[in-house]
Amino acid sequence: MRHPRQLAGRIVALSVVVLLLAFSAQAFIPLAERVVRAVAARNAKAGRTQPLRFDLALRIEESDPIGTGTLISHPTGLARLELRSTGGVVERHVLQGGEHLAMRAGERLREPREFLPPLFLLQAGRELDLSSGLAQLGADLDAIGLAACGESDCYVIGDPARMPPPMPRPMPPGMEGAALAGMEGPESGDGPEFMPVSREDSLVVDPQRATIWIDLVTYEPKRIDLRNGVRVWFGPSASFDRVQVPSWIRIDEPGKRPATFDVMAVSPVNAPAAAFSRSWLERTPEGESAPAPAAPE
């Protein structure tokens, strides 16, 4: 059995290490609201804070493109998508008031694919708008942590389980004896057993929380996790008509093959609320009318 003084020295050293690790983890993570503010500023600088039209090519897993599409996304959360398969089949999706509706070849789809990801989070130009959008998705606006994302690192906003553990308090003078008793208890049969918590245990993710992953350097959104298990990934930034957007968007849905939209072109559009109506969804392709291009600045 080790001498009590040796055990006490190990306890003090371990306490110092834990304090330093906790302090270093917290020292390099800013408040979530500061990161949200920086992301909103980045959205504005990238020219995304306006209704946008995305011309897309759709791939399933690693296939060649199986169709093309036109996606209209509004900063308020409205969105619509028209897909045309290589065989000529038309599929339409519309998101309005939080309701996602879709039709294929004139028939309503009961369980449409998640082809309308929350791109409005990339279009929010004010901290308040971005915070409101994240809250609607179910993110905890006070929670922020760090995680690897591809070849870089990301701030992860929204899930308390990813936050570093709180900084432990220093051991009060005179408590070393009690700590020793706790460590020696298992050997002597007295006192509680000691079970350390692993780092992996502290990073268990709550599947009920939505999160947004933000690149530490560029403040570009890299990933969005939704409460229903859907994950949306964003590719490297590309510039189209003075608007910077992800070069591709990948959507992973539980139990379904991943879908990737390659972004071919992006341009500002005039898109009133009527452009996202059910009448557009149910309109035959021959009678469609796309939103008009925005007037040049």
Angle at 224 between CA 72 and CA 118, to 5 degrees: 25
Q: What residues contact residue 28 under an 8 Å CB cut-off, 6+ apart?
A: 146
Q: Whole-angstrom distance between the N-terminal and C-terminal Cα of the chain?
A: 80
pLDDT value, residue 175: 56
Cite the beta strand spans of 43-135 per DSSP E: 52-60, 67-73, 79-85, 90-96, 99-104, 107-108
Q: What residues contact residue 143 under an 8 Å CB cut-off, 6+ apart?
A: 32, 157, 158, 159, 160, 162, 163, 209
Flag residues of the chain having pLDDT under 70.
Answer: 1-27, 166-207, 284-297
Residue position matching structure tokens 């449409």: 112
Q: How far apart are CA 249 and CA 231, in angstroms?
A: 10
Note whether 69 and 83 are within 8 A (CB): yes
pLDDT value, residue 185: 39
pLDDT value, residue 62: 87
DSSP 64: P
Note whether 162 and 234 are within 8 A (CB): no
DSSP 149: E
Residue 44 CA to its chain's centroid (Å): 19
Residue position matching structure tokens 């409005």: 120
DSSP 169: P
pLDDT value, residue 207: 55
Residue 216 burial (10 A CB sphere; 0-12, 13-18, 19+): middle
Cite the beta strand spans of the chain per DSSP E: 52-60, 67-73, 79-85, 90-96, 99-104, 107-108, 140-149, 152-158, 211-215, 221-225, 231-234, 237-240, 243-246, 248-252, 259-268
Region 33-89+113-161+202-270: CATH code? 2.50.20
pLDDT value, residue 28: 76
